[in-house]
Structure formats: structure tokens, C-alpha cells
A = this chain, B = another copy of it.
Amino acid sequence: MPFNDTDTLAVNAIRALAVDMIEKANSGHPGLPLGLAPAAYALWSRHLKHNPQNPAWFDRDRFILSAGHGSSMLYAMLHLFGCGLSMEELKNFRQSGSLTPGHPEHGMTKGVETTTGPLGQGFANAVGMALAEKYLGGIFNTPEFKVIDHYTYALAGDGDLMEGLSYEAASLAGHLALGKLICIYDSNGITIEGSTALTFTEDVKKRFLAQNWQTLEVADGNDLSEVDAALRKAKREVEKPSLIIAKTHIGFASPKQDTNAVHGEPLKYDEVLATKKNLGWPYEEPFRLPEALAPHFEMLAQAGARAEKKWLKLLKAYRAKQPELAAKLGDYLSADLPEDLIKDADLAFDKPLATREASHKALNLLAERVGNLIGGSADLAPSTKTDFTAHPERTLHFGIREHAMGAIVNGLALHGGLRPFGSTFLVFADYMRPSIRLAAFMNAPSIFVFTHDSVGVGEDGPTHQPVEHIMALRLIPNLAVWRPADAYETFYAWETILRNRKPACLLLSRQKLPILSEQKDKIKAGVKRGAYTLKGPALSPDVEIIATGSEIRLALETALKLESCGLRAKVVSMPCYEVFLKQDEVYRSSVISANLPKVTVEAGKGMGWKDITGGKTLNISIETFGHSAPAEKVFAHLGFTADSIVEKIKAFL
């Protein structure tokens, strides 16, 4: 069916609304919507499988606006296509309390699949979503029933494709042959500083070919038929992801078309009018829509609703003919976990274990009870111990691409149906920090496993020794940072992370740590509360030692030594600072006493501990970069021995 005048009107409606929103907010990015609206409209009207009335339909196509600064276009489309975003919200674009924030926020606005804005992230999230689809399809689809069968579409701009993250993610997408991933590249030749010729002269087509993608070209991004044809071709290629290079005009039809001035600043009022005039848009009045559009979008919405209905029918038949698979699918999609995720009988440790080793045991045990737990490492599985022994198909190989791993884990988590994690050394958390931040901001249940969590890394030296990272992760709002002290704590940390379904980091030791078997009941009750009293002296204590992870052994040893000096020490284990801070006041003050002098012991920067301890506090911490030597020597050099700590505590008291 050829495109007609109503389609053109619809495209211009997107443009006009976007421009009106930005004009009213006096803030926003008109360049992208004016240039890319035709491509986005062609995609949504002819290809995107979605039911506007139910944005949560599991088998919908995923749509990601990686170039998140084009939010006004997305909001205009969500309104026009009937996804429940009102005209009132459009009028409140970028204002307090609206559903139309500056950049699209997942969880805020229905139909927004992921939070975008920081460039490259959406593109890599899309790779994660396409991977989720392929992975789940591999498990659940049968020749008769394709219950998981959707495309993942991304719109990306020059900025997305210049970010290293997008190369990493594209390389992996090509490698994994994610044929149902389709990206439209908004190639408008302009970035904020001017022409892309200023900095970006690589051959994008050849680059994607080198990365095992199909590339297609749309010479005129304003031509709906051309975009449509490219999308059809892209969908037919199932072995390779597709990049559609669409030549567009930033700020199309505006007086500033094809200039960087139209990227991120509102048009002036007369420019808005000129733009509308150039487009042949019938109204000067903002936010006004031609009546002809309503039935058109209604028709498209009905088609979407029918598509979901069809899928529900398919699912019903699937349940009848494939009851086991259907039940399993139900498990995957549900948030429920078995009550006895960790049983007491699971926990038998006969010798000291690095917490990364304990995590390996936990992970492989949990794998039997949580069918959709998958994940892997950025080429460090032999060290991070994150492989699934009995389920190798669940082990993902991200390659040496930490940043893409972070964003792909977010995409897997957002897609639904899976409990994904990624892992690397803690020091390399920095490489993926923007994605960790977005997981926290979106409240996506992404899990990041970071091993080699201190100067205990030893000989690899300061380039590989995290010092500031534990606290730097704790600084990110809404991120639970776990640092268990032994195998027991590690198991319960895994359990709590899975139950809480919130963004979390799990920090694990390279070096062996003793098993706190005598305290196992306290650990069982305490870990899920973030902190607990691991060792309380019989009489009222003189000092309270708060430690985490590998430093708990030191804290216990120190307490013993203090005892022989006639000082009574209480030891608090705090595997998760953030979770502890959310406990009620009564519990918190039962763990952290108001008036005792405090000593914190953590092999990292001490900044921030006084926020928890209040009052008189001694931080045993590391304030400089580490150094290269066997781990024990590094710790000793930095004062992390019980004797050294005892001396400091005595002086402090």
C-alpha cells in the first residue's frame, strides 16, 4: 500500500507537535524530530508490532530512541499513536511532574523501553533486547509456535555511533548474528560543533560491514516508501543485524535546516511559523491537529490490538499443546522465586574460599532453581568465576567490552523474562559506569559482579587494584553495593539481590577468606538487612568495629587481640550499606550504637564512612593508589594487619 497524504500529514503532525512542545518549554532539540520523523513514522505505522493499549505486551517489537535528545518526537508519537500520553503532557514537556521529561525515562512514561540520552546506551540496550529475544526464542519457540518472535528497532544518530560503546555493542551483535535487530542511522551530517566532517569521516557503512552487519542505504530520509522498503529488506535478513543509513536533514523545513544551530536550541517563534509553513502544516496555532488524523491512528491502534489478540490465541494453543514449555515460560516471565532459594543444607564449606569461588558455587546452585538466570563476563570468566558449569548455554561471552556488557545486561533486564548479570574486575567498573548509573536510574534489575575487589589483587598492581571504587559505586543513588565477607554471606547476598529485583553490584574477593561457620545463624538473619552484629562481647563493648568483605577476618582478629589488651570490641559486618540504611531506626540503632567510638575497616577510600557512624570514628582505609606486590605484602604495607589496627585503635581510644 503506497503512502498517501494522510501519512504525510501524520509525519508533519509529529514534527509540528515536537516543535510546539520545544517552543512552549523554551527548551529542547528540534533538529532530530524535524529530520527523522518520516523514518520513525514509516517504522511505527508499517512495521512496529505493538498494541498502544498495552505497552507491556511481552512479544511486542521493542523500539529504542537511542538519540534520546529527540524525546519530543517520541512523545509526539506516543500521543498520536494512542499510547496513553495526553496532549496535556505534551504541553508540559520538560516541566516538573510531567510524563515528558527532557530525555525519555523508562518507568516514567508508558511505551519508553529504556532511558536514553547518554549517547550509545540505547543502541547497546537494543543489542541486549535483541539478544534476549533470540535467547528466549531458542528456548521457547517450536516449529509450530513462535511465541517469542519480535524485532528490536533502534534509532541512532552520529553521536551514538561515535561513542565507543556502539562499536563494542555492534561488534558483539554482528558476532551473535542478531538478525532481528534493526537500527536506523539518522545520518544528517551535523553534530553540535558543526559538520561531521569536522571529526567523523570514517566510512560507517564499511565499518558495519566489517562488524558482520547488513547495511542498507536510504538516500532520502524524507521518502516514506524508501524507508519502508529498507525496513522490509532489513527484516528479511535474519542472519545479520541491519543498519539502515538514512540520509536526513537536521531541522528539516526550518530556517536553520542542515546547521548545528538547530540541534539543541528551540526555534524562535517566527522560525516555528516558517517551519510550519514550509511543511504545509495547516495551523499556526500550537498543539492543534487535523481531524483526519484521529481515525487514521485509531485504525493503526486497532491493528496493534489485533496483533496482540492473535498472539494471545497462539499462546493459548501453546499452553494446550506444549504445557511444559508454557509452564516454564510462565516461570520465566514471573517475578516469583522459590521460597527455599537457599537451603541450610546447601551450605557446607570445609575450607577457606575466596568469595568469588563461593559466588561460583552459589551461582551454579541458584541456576538449578532460577531457570532464567544467565550472564557472563567481559572475557574474565576464569577469574571472575561466573560460568555455569552444568548449563554452558547460559554463560554469555561479552568479549573485552565492559561498557557494552553493562548496557547489554540492562537491555536483557529491561526486555523481561531473564535475570541477567555481567562481570569483570572491580577496577574496570569504571569502564561501564555510565551503564551502571542508568541501571540504577531506571531501577532495572541488572546485576554486576565485580571480583578482585581490593588491593588483594596483589602483583597485577595499582592499575588493577580498586581503591576508590567501592565508595564510588555506593555514591550512585538506588544502587545496592554488596561486599560479602565469606561464603555464607555470599550465598545470602546472591539470594537477597535476586529477591530484591533491584540494580545491584556484588563485590567479591580474589583471595581466600575463612568461613564464618560459627556465626552462620547470625549471617542468615543479618545479611538481608544489610548489616548486623557479627560478634558482640558478653559485656558492654568499648569500641565498635564495622567492616565489610575481606576485612571482616581482620576485624575479628583485631577484636580478639583487643580482648587480650582488656578492650571489648563489637564487630559489625556490613555487606550492604544501602540496604542497611533502609532498615528501620530501631534495627539500625541496635547494630550501630549511638555512643560508642567506631572503627571502620575497609580496604578502600574511607570517605563516606562517617556518614554512617556519626560521632567519634577512626577509619582504617586506603587513601592512595595501591602497589604491585604479593597481596599479603600490599595489605601489610597499607596497614591492614590486625597488629597495626590494634595499635591504631589503642591510640584512638
Contacts and interface: CB of A to CB of B under 8 A. Distances in A.
B158 A162 contact: no
B464 A191 contact: no
A116 B193 contact: no
B397 A198 contact: yes
A102 B628 contact: yes
Given A192-B379, A607-B611, A637-B96, A162 B400 contact: yes
Contacts of A634: 96
Contact of A475 (B159, B202, B607): B607
A460 interface: yes
Interface stretch (A50-58, A433-441, A514-522): A433-441
A461 interface: yes
A524 interface: no
A393 interface: no
Interface in A440-471: 440-441, 458-464, 467-468, 471
A644 interface: no
A139 to B, nearest CB: 21
A192 B404 contact: no
A464 B164 contact: no
Contacts of A209: 203, 206, 210
Interface string A172-214: 1011000000000000000111000011111111110111100
Given A474-B607, A475-B472, A629-B94, A102 B464 contact: yes
Interface stretch (A147-155, A344-352, A619-627): A619-627
A204 B193 CA distance: 30
A583 to B, nearest CB: 16
Interface stretch (A38-46, A291-299, A424-432, A488-496): A424-432
A67 B469 CA distance: 23
A383 B263 CA distance: 12
In the complex, the count of this chain's copies comes to: 2
B199 A103 contact: no
A117 interface: yes
Nearest to A433: B430
Instruction: Specify which of A158, A461, A637 lies most central, judged by the most chain B CB atoms within 10 Å of its CB.
Output: A461
Contacts of A192: 379-383
Interface residues of A, number: 107
A25 to B, nearest CB: 6
A575 interface: no
A11 to B, nearest CB: 26
Nearest to A22: B459
A90 to B, nearest CB: 14
Contact of A434 (B116, B201, B431): B431
B400 A158 contact: yes
B200 A210 contact: no
Contact of A163 (B118, B401, B608): B401
A165 interface: yes
Contacts of A96: 627-630, 633-634, 637
A407 B619 CA distance: 33
Counting chain B CB atoms within 10 Å of each CB, which of A117, A377, A472 scores highest?
A: A472
Nearest to A166: B164
A86 interface: no
Contact of A95 (B191, B471, B629): B629
Contact of A199 (B102, B382, B398, B619): B398
Given A607-B474, A607-B475, A175 B162 contact: no
Contact of A116 (B116, B174, B463, B471): B463
A372 interface: no
A193 B397 CA distance: 8
Given A174-B201, A607-B608, A381 B193 contact: yes
A610 interface: yes
B379 A159 contact: yes
A102 B637 CA distance: 17
A167 interface: yes
B159 A191 contact: no
A598 interface: no
* Cβ-closest 4 pairs across A and B: A164-B164, A199-B399, A102-B461, A101-B628
Given A118-B463, A164-B165, 10 more contacts: A94-B459, A101-B462, A105-B463, A116-B463, A192-B381, A199-B399, A200-B399, A203-B211, A477-B624, A610-B611
14 contacts: A27-B458, A28-B459, A101-B461, A101-B628, A117-B460, A117-B464, A118-B464, A159-B400, A163-B164, A199-B397, A204-B210, A441-B625, A475-B607, A477-B624
Interface of A: 25, 27-28, 68, 94-98, 101-103, 105, 115-119, 158-159, 162-168, 171-172, 174-175, 191-193, 198-207, 209-212, 260, 377, 379-383, 397-404, 427-428, 430-431, 433-434, 437-438, 440-441, 458-464, 467-468, 471-472, 474-478, 605-608, 610-611, 614, 619, 623-625, 627-630, 633-634, 637
